[in-house]
Structure 1
Amino acid sequence: MGFMTGFFGGFTLTASVLYLSVQVHRSTRIQQRDAIREQVAILNDISSPLGAYYRSFAQEETPLRKDTSKKPSAEELLKHQWNKEVETLATKALNLRWQDVSQTATEGFKTISRFVKRE
């Protein structure tokens, strides 16, 4: 029993750390993408050949972001992703048939016992 508990505990810890690091990396990449898009828009406005010499043909002043709300932080993105995962798991748990779970557990136990006994 100690081996299984340690194995699944280590798996859970490793999976959690990997999941959180991927989500932090994803939110950082989104922030970098938005910053690069803003910088490209500014550079395009500055170096526009129409607007460079004839200001009457220059593009109208438009905000860099279409919406005026601030971008969600990494913490808010992680919370949203976490809530989505919990909602998915709750939906699966509500639609679960316990007969299927017991059959799967029984077959898994039989497989493990055959492996241990090396039949």
Structure 2
Amino acid sequence: MGFFTGFCSGFALTSSVLYLAVQAHRSNRLEQRQTIREQTRALNWVAESTGAYDRRLLPREDLLLMEQKATPPEPTLQDHLKHRWNQEVEGLARKAHESRWEDARHTAAKGWNSVVRFVKWE
């Protein structure tokens, strides 16, 4: 591989990795911005004096936003996979917590003894 080919391939690899890192950072920042705006809007809605005692006095757009937020969003595939992963980790943690080393040692000793018996007979 020549100098020019190596230089171009190195530049392409470096710029691709840099581009992907910047895009991932940008998407995270946009998601954070959206959640912060939603939280700010919710806090302002709770703190504003209009309709503090009677929500019927609120502007119609605030009532529509309140009704939209009342319905829970549908779970996505990512949420489902996270839930499955958490169940697996929880089961493994519970199994590790409930297992006893004496039982593992006893099982390993029984397995070793059966292997030794099998080898001696043959």
Larger Rg: 2
Greater length-normalized contact order (CA 8 Å, ≥ 6 residues apart): 1
Given the two structures, how large is their TM-score scaled by the length of structure 1? Answer: 0.48
Given the two structures, how large is their TM-score scaled by the length of structure 2? Answer: 0.47
Q: Which has the higher helix share?
A: 2
